[in-house]
Chains A and B, each alone.
Chain A
Amino acid sequence: MPDQLLYALEVTLNGLMAGVLYSLVALGFVLIFKASGIFNYAQGVMALFAALTLVGIQEGQVPFSHLINAIFGTEIHHFGWTVPAILAIMLTAAVMVVFAWAVERFVLKHLVNQPDIILFMATIGLAYFMEGVGDLMWGADIKKLDVGLPQGGSIWLEENTAWLGGDGFYGFFIDRLDIVATVVAAILVISLTLFSQYSKQGRALRAVADDHQAALSVGISLRFIWVLVWSIAGFVALVAGIMWGTKSGVQFSLSLIALKALPVLMLGGFTSIPGAIVGGLIIGVGEKLFEFFIGPMVGGATENWFAYVLALLFLVFRPQGLFGEKIIERV
């Protein structure tokens, strides 16, 4: 095989892996949008918040330590213990459930029957509020997240694919973290699909997504479903936070990855879980290949804007996305 083709293949593989991470963030958006029609602007911040909390718990950081020290003149920062990764992840998941409950109790409950735009604005408020709380709780410095996931290129893969090319080709380089992320994302999507198709809560969830009034009439509590769906979205945010945090450190710019999820959603459609996955993969591969082939001609850095231009094209020619429901108003 000619080396150029092999490189393109490698770029494609890496694009797929990067796409998985986009998909993970987009998935959280889709879940909440489907169940309540709310575009949750805070999804990215939720991922950041989950990652911050995870690191904080793991390292035994005292939450709100800056605040406590400022008020009481103390000098506490750490409890002096570390928590095993698995336990810390479970605790963080619990924190996300509490967060979901709080969102329902203090925000959504009071905005029932308000227009979508009001709810959207509320989630923007929520996003900045959480960013502030995250800062206050765990501090603003960049943190290293390590839950024991493998990192670095897979040497095995490199050695066993080197024969494909000539002397100049050293085998495919793929980060092991990306492989883990892909496996985790696949497990997550499969279990979410099974849960929503075959469990009673899943059925209730789909019912609420379809028609609130009808759902109430068959005895479904909207509040319970909202807490459930925000909890699940919080868990997805946690998974995304772990992957992104491990890859590039837990920092506040993490919340900006939410912006990359937007073009993914425009491609995949806001209401489709498979759409979020496929959309993420297309964006991931698309921007890597574009950078590889076209990038050198235009001076590079196309990854910054490629996804958005693609999304714009989709908005013009297929506004409901690849898998979204086409909205037809009967007149």
Chain B
Amino acid sequence: MSLDTTDSYVTEDGRTIGGVVMEMKNITLRFGGVVAIKDISFDIREGEIRAIIGPNGAGKSSMLNVISGFYHPQEGEVWFHGRKRPSMKPYQVAAQGIARTFQNIALFDGMSVLDNIMTGRLTMMKSNMLQQAIWFGRAEREENQHREQVEKVIDFLEIQAIRKTPVGRLPYGLKKRVELARALAAEPKLLLLDEPMAGMNVEEKEDMSRFILDVNDEFGTTIALIEHDMGVVMDLSDRVVVMDYGKKIGDGTPDEVRNNQDVIDAYLGVAHD
């Protein structure tokens, strides 16, 4: 299937996938002498679930960190909504509507679930510091309005019961869900998930898969995710990028990727003779 950057198409399950929202062009990222990402290009289309897979150390997380502004590639360009993105700090990227979760959960342990999720809306709060300091009418209205949105996310992810619990006390699976909730609260245009199902049992994985699909379906959120569990990836994603040793070795629909000889070699190993 070959598509132009502005083309859209309808998937088998009836979702509309739009034009390209984010394009990575010839990204190279080095740490000293180590090349983490080597000349990789790929795009993410509006409304799709795009997976990045690959063996350990392939550079998947680095790629996600480039998108979210935590790393700055030495070469290559990041295009977002048809415009080249200048070098940005992570908080500026977040303000552009790109939210993310982390592989090893980065939540605010001392704060309640509700407060954690509220931080997701910080970039959208417009009242200034003076208004905030004296809890001026606008600050209060704003807080209530954002609180409403946050409650919707809480309902959506079925975490009503733990709203007031400090995050530090939650079990791992729920923490992952709270982190997703915080990212969703920002109403992101692009949602980046770094191994959303790592370390989960089968039941938790099923829950998480359902949430990811629902988010994509109900809000039309574009999602890019990294995952190890091949079964999950193949079920969830519309298109897959495969990385190995910092290089791109495959890109396409799950079926195309599954039958790609390079990918099979990378995952199963190949006999050297």
The residues of A with any CB-CB pair to B shorter than 8 Å are 194-195, 198-204, 206-207, 209-211, 213-222, 325
Contacts and interface: CB of A to CB of B under 8 A. Distances in A.
A286 B57 CA distance: 58
Contacts of A217: 68, 90, 94, 99-100, 102, 106
Contacts of B95: 219
B89 A216 contact: yes
Interface of B: 68, 70, 89-92, 94-95, 99-100, 102, 106-111, 115, 118-120, 122-123, 125, 127, 129, 132-133, 135, 139, 143, 182, 186
A209 B107 CA distance: 11
Contact of B94 (A210, A211, A219): A219
Q: Top 7 A-B pairs ranked by shortest CB distance?
A: A219-B94, A214-B106, A210-B108, A219-B123, A199-B132, A216-B90, A200-B125
A200 B122 contact: yes
Given A203-B118, A217-B94, A219-B94, A209 B125 contact: no
A219 B102 contact: no
Most buried by B among A203, A206, A214, A217: A217
A220 B111 contact: no
Given A199-B139, A201-B129, A219-B94, A210 B110 contact: yes
30 contacts: A194-B135, A198-B135, A199-B129, A200-B125, A200-B132, A201-B129, A201-B132, A203-B111, A206-B111, A207-B108, A207-B111, A207-B119, A209-B110, A211-B107, A211-B108, A213-B70, A213-B102, A214-B108, A215-B108, A216-B90, A217-B100, A217-B102, A217-B106, A218-B119, A218-B182, A219-B94, A219-B122, A219-B123, A220-B122, A221-B89
Contacts of A201: 129, 132
A220 B90 CA distance: 9
A101 to B, nearest CB: 14
Nearest to A194: B135
Given A199-B135, A201-B132, A207-B119, A221 B91 contact: yes
Contacts of A199: 129, 132-133, 135, 139
A63 to B, nearest CB: 28
Contacts of A195: 132-133
B119 A220 contact: yes
A200 B126 CA distance: 10
B91 to A, nearest CB: 5
